[in-house]
Every structure is written in structure tokens, then in C-alpha cells.
Amino acid sequence: MSNKSEVRVRFAPSPTGDLHVGNIRTALFDWAYARHTGGKLIFRIEDTDTERVTDQYIQAAIDTLKWLGLNWDEGPEVGGEYGPYLQSQRLEIYATWAQKFLDQGDAYHCYCSAEELEERRSAQMKNNQAPGYDGKCRDLSAEQVSQYKSLGRKPVVRMRMPDGETVFVDAIRGEVKFEHKYVPDFVLARADGSPLYTLAVAVDDVLMKITHVLRGEDLLSSTPRQIRVYQAMGVAESEYPIFAHLPFVMGQDNAKLSKRNGEVSIAWYREQGFLPEAICNYLALLGWSPGDDKENITMQELVDLFTVERVNSSPARFDMKKLEAINGDKIRALTLDKFLEWSLPFLINAKVITGNPQEIEVVKSALPIIQERIIKLAEIPAMLKFLFVKDFKVEAEELGKLTDEASQNVLKVALAKVEPLQSWDHAGIEAVLRSALIDELGLKPRIAFSALRIAVTGSHISPPLFESLELLGKERSIARIKAVISK
């Protein structure tokens, strides 16, 4: 994709909340491309919007990338020779460049008020003209400037867009052209001196020697402005970063996926019990393909196979069912020790266990019987709660299913068959219950075992019945069946 000596890509979020699916898909592609090429991933925080970007959100972004395993080579907590990596700590750098642009004549002071700009914008739209800055302050006389100053007006710094067009080759979309008549002079710095995105992002990309910019399609239209800043900085065209604008991620309603369109915060997926590798695996498939209809991939395979040429320019659709299927596959592929490691926080947070060694041993014994049945780790507490409840009782809603004569008869027959058992293991339990309830009573398995499942686990949804009885132990199993019969 490039003959640049060392690939340097950057993930540069402006975290005004938890990182969401779109952010992380971009970070993942940046990470995969850096690792595939042996390059470097720079993690930069765009936090000049101090009202919306908080320390809490910045830390959450750092924690999320760590949790996903998307490690970076330069940035917060790592450092690097081109820091600092928080834009709020680089304000003097931006101010210096803004002044340089003014001195060179590439930029000028604009004294137009917000009300005047809005009034002129409305007039443009009324006259069917493309809305945008009309150049009113481009060539003010010294007298006009003095007059504005006497009124106490504080100017913004605005970049001059030359006549003509900007043409560049996007690594995903091919040649892209913007006519400058649709790219009016733009603001670089506010009246208080604080930089806008277009100034800060372009200056940082140059100073941090970024070679490739992989980012969302929504930023495509800002590219000619960035290129204009590169020009004003004296960067040769051959040294511009290579742009690759990633396709939109759409919701099931075909609207662009956003914070308002479904649960898209990565924090939500983490709470629900999606594994980091499942999230990364699925997001990698949104707009990119490893080929051969392969869908279940490891992080190493992603690194080995990822190329920008395989990124599609068409929008990708987010499918929760597909993500759940991949997550279920990843859970089933875990070793028992890893599955235990992932499960314990969910059980402890749900107050099912306190985390003492005895409880952990029981959990470890129980996990193999539910590993095939769950798609999210958050399902584990409800599945295993019956093993740890001290004052066990069947909820009224479920208890109502056990009061009819047929259910009571099943429970009495089952009790009579399992109570004499000397050896309490699932194979022996299954043998006597199948013989009594299916062979002798002629019941279908679903009917035969449903009442028993509710009686011992408290729910009609549970791990496999016979293994559950074995784990629960004979004494507690018998006591629970008897309690339901007596009611």
C-alpha cells in the first residue's frame, strides 16, 4: 500500500463518552495494519473540547483498548519521542503554527460574529447557494481591522482556501476530488486561541510522522482542509499521509450506527459478557474479509491477513445475532482455566459467590456442563445460582407449574427412585430416572424432567439436569424435591 519506510498509524479518539463500535472498529483496523506491517500504532487523545472530554472518559478509553488487547507503541502511559499525546498539552504548538500561517499570509483574522455568519448563511440557502464562509474578512484594510478592534471584537484565525481543487488517492475509494468552491475558508483557532480539529489533527499528524490515516468515512470531507494545512506547513505532497476512509457501520434499520441506535458502547458489551476476542473478531468482519468465507479468526490471524486492499467501501451492517454466535464459539473454545477466570467476576459481582476457594472449586466443576449452552458470560450467574443459594426456594411463578397432579406424581416417582441410590453420579441418576419416568410411565423427556428441573434448580432453564443433580449432591437434591412435594 505504501513505499514509506516505517508505517505509523494513529488512533485519535475524542472521548466524549464510552468508546463505541465505530471507534473500536477504527482502532482495530489501525492496530491490525500496524502489526501486519511491523509498523507502529500511535494512540493520541483529542481532548481540546474540555467541556465534553473528561479525564474519566479518557481513562475509560485507555482501559477499553487495554481490555481488548489493542496495545499501542506511543501514547498515554507509554510515552514516545513525539509526545505529549494529549492535545490539551500541545496548545502552544498549535498557537505557534496558527501565528506562522498568519505571518505567511496563508491565514487571516476574521471578525465576523456568529449572528452575522448565521444571517449570511440563511441568505445563501434562500438563494439556493452552497452555504459557507463568503470571504468577507479575507482582505480587510488596516482601518477596518482598527474599527473591529475598537468594538472589542475578538477574531478567529481562518485559513485561506486557494482556487482550484484538491485531488488525492484514498486507499479504499480510489481517486477523490473536492472542488474548492465547496470548501470555503475554514476556522483554525477560536477567538480565545483554542485550536479546532482541522488545525490540531493536521499539525499532529505531521509532527508525529503519521504515514497512514485509517479513519471513518464521516471524516472524508475534512481531508481537503487537512491537506491545505499540510501545504501551509511546507510539507511536500509526497510526504502527505495516505488516507483510507473506512465504510460506515449501519444498524439493522439501515441508519448509520450511532450512540442513539442500539447498544453500541463497548462498556455495554463488556458488562454483557462478550469476550474481547469475539468483539474484535466480529468488528474485523464489518467492512473487511479474511477471504475463503472464513469468519472465526484469532487476533494473530487478523494480524497475518489484514490488508487495507481487502477493506470494502460499501457500508457494513451490524448484526447482534452474528456477534452472539461468534461469542458463543469463542466461549466454547476456552480452556477450563480460562473459562473459570472469565466467569468468576460475573459470579462475584452478581453476589452468587464470595470467591472463597471452596466455591471456586464448585464453579470449576460446574462450568463444563454450561460451556456449550451459553452465548454470553452474563448468563452464568443465573445458570449456577442454584448451587450456592442457602435458603433455596422455587419462585411462585415456577412453583405454579408443579402443583398439578401429573407434576406431583413425577416428583414422587423420581424421589422414590433416587433416594435409595448409594452412588450419586449423573450416569446412575439418569439411568434410574429414564427407566422410571420414560420407560415405565411412558412420558416424553421434556415432560418427564421439566418438573424435576424446576424443583432442584428453581427454573425451567438450567444446566443439564443429571449433572446438576450430581453437583448439587444427594442430600440437597432430595431435600428440594421433598420441599416441593410437601407444598
Residues that constitute the known binding site for ATP: 259
Nearest CA-CA partner of 1 in 172, 133, 144: 172
Greatest C-alpha distance within the chain: 106
Q: Which amino acid is at 315?
A: P
Is 259 one of the annotated active-site residues of the chain? yes
Query: What span, in angstroms and rounded, lies between the C-alpha atoms of 404 and 230?
Result: 79
Under a CB-based contact definition with an 8 Å cutoff, are residues 94 and 190 in contact? no
Under a CB-based contact definition with an 8 Å cutoff, are residues 457 and 468 in contact? yes
CA angle, residues 25, 27, 33, in degrees to nearest 5: 100
Q: Which amino acid is at 436?
A: A
Under a CB-based contact definition with an 8 Å cutoff, are residues 91 and 195 in contact? yes
The count of C-alpha atoms lying within 13 angstroms of the C-alpha of 103, restricted to the half-sphere facing its C-beta, is: 7
266: phi then psi, degrees, rounded to nearest 5: -65, -30
Which residues are known binding-site members for Zn(2+)? Answer: 110, 112, 137, 139
Q: How far is CA 438 from CA 135, 378, 388, 402, 445, in A?
A: 87, 34, 30, 18, 7
Query: What span, in angstroms and rounded, lies between the C-alpha atoms of 454 and 397?
Result: 11
Nearest CA-CA partner of 428 in 388, 459, 474, 363: 474
Which residues are known binding-site members? Answer: 110, 112, 137, 139, 259
Query: What span, in angstroms and rounded, lies between the C-alpha atoms of 224 and 35?
Result: 28
Q: What is the dihedral of CA 222, 227, 233, 236, to 10 degrees?
A: 160
For the four alpha carbons of 172, 177, 181 and 184, in that order, the dihedral sign comes to positive
Query: What span, in angstroms and rounded, lies between the C-alpha atoms of 482 and 422?
Result: 18
Active-site hit among 4, 136, 256, 259: 259
For residue 212, the tally of other CB atoms under 10 A from its CB is 24
Query: What span, in angstroms and rounded, lies between the C-alpha atoms of 158 and 105?
Result: 11
Catalytic residues: 259
